[in-house]
Amino acid sequence: MVKSTVRFPEPVVEEIESLVEEGQFESKSEFYRFSADYVLSRTLDEYDPQTIDYDAIEAEVIPDTERELGGDADADGPPFFDSVAFVRKLALRGNFSDAEDFIDHQYVPGDRHAVLLEELLRLYREDAASDEPAPAADPEPEPPSRNR
């Protein structure tokens, strides 16, 4: 192995040391090797991690849901971007309750996709509310006039 010196901010080193103390990694060196391998394996298609027991460490440290962040492989509902398009279409037409029903029936409460769709719907509601004209103000009553 090649030895390389890298400088890290102190808070980063403190977090790494706490992971080692908790038993997530055997040593700081194992953390650094795994981290570099992990980023390279995600960045380069043909990179093969060199860390001993890389797969075991990855399975223990990074849950499957985080490894597939943004993917629909674990979703029970329709593909997420199809849902975004459908909710957007309903919201642009002012059918907010239909959009809510869609989200409620396609996703379980707390699902990350449902949360994002609800937030998207909230933004469309706010836009629709700001586009509505302000109610007309009542005309001010004319002061009484005196006839002499």
For 54-93, the pLDDT digits (tens) are: 888 888 887 765 444 444 555 555 788 888 999 999 999 9
Instruction: Indicate the DSSP class of residue 9.
Output: -
How high is the pLDDT of residue 69? 41
- Is residue 116 within 8 A of residue 124, CB to CB? The reply is no
Enter the pTM of the model.
0.44
Per-residue pLDDT of the chain (148 residues; tens, 9 = 90+): 888 888 889 999 999 999 999 988 999 999 998 899 888 988 898 899 988 888 888 888 877 654 444 445 555 557 888 889 999 999 999 999 999 999 988 888 788 888 999 999 999 999 888 876 655 555 566 666 666 5
What contacts 91, CB < 8 A, 6 or more positions away? Answer: 99, 120, 121, 124, 125, 128
How high is the pLDDT of residue 14? 93
Q: Chain centroid to CA 114: how far?
A: 11
Cα angle value 8/9/12 (rounded, 5°): 85
